């Protein structure tokens, strides 16, 4: 799900979130994560931060703890099968043996170079 859907699923009111840069650089997101602000949903120390874009309020920080992040997983930018192929190719390129577990087909994919 996207970050707006995650905020909605967690019952977070955008008005309660801190203002954020419209297009934060990685360093800005990393700096925020290092501060470990409270999770926007449950108040536990956060482990990840992102920006929710609200039409009325503008961009807002959404901070999530481990459990809230796992309850609202992000959408992969590429199909899982393509990500596995990319990892397999990268592992082979450097001669690395890796084992990847996915929930797709309930299986294990052994990657080796």
Helices (H), 2-79: 3-9, 26-35, 66-71
Per-chain mean pLDDT for the chain: 87
Q: What digits encode the pLDDT tens for the residues 68-108?
A: 999 998 887 778 788 888 888 888 899 988 777 776 555 55
Tokens 């901070």 locate to: 63
| Length reported for the chain | 113
CB-based contact 61:51 (threshold 8 Å) = yes
CB-based contact 22:59 (threshold 8 Å) = yes
pTM of the predicted model as reported, rounded to 2 decimal places: 0.68
């Amino acid at each position: 799900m996207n970050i707006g859907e995650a905020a909605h699923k967690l019952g977070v009111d955008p008005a309660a979130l801190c203002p954020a840069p419209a297009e934060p650089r990685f360093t800005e997101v990393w700096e925020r994560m290092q501060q470990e602000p409270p999770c926007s949903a449950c108040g536990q120390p956060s482990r990840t931060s992102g920006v929710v874009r609200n039409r009325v309020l503008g961009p807002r920080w959404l901070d999530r703890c481990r459990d809230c992040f796992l309850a609202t997983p992000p959408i992969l930018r590429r199909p899982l099968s393509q990500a596995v192929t990319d990892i397999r190719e990268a592992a082979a390129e450097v001669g690395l043996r890796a084992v990847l577990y996915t929930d797709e087909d309930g299986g294990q994919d052994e990657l080796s170079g």
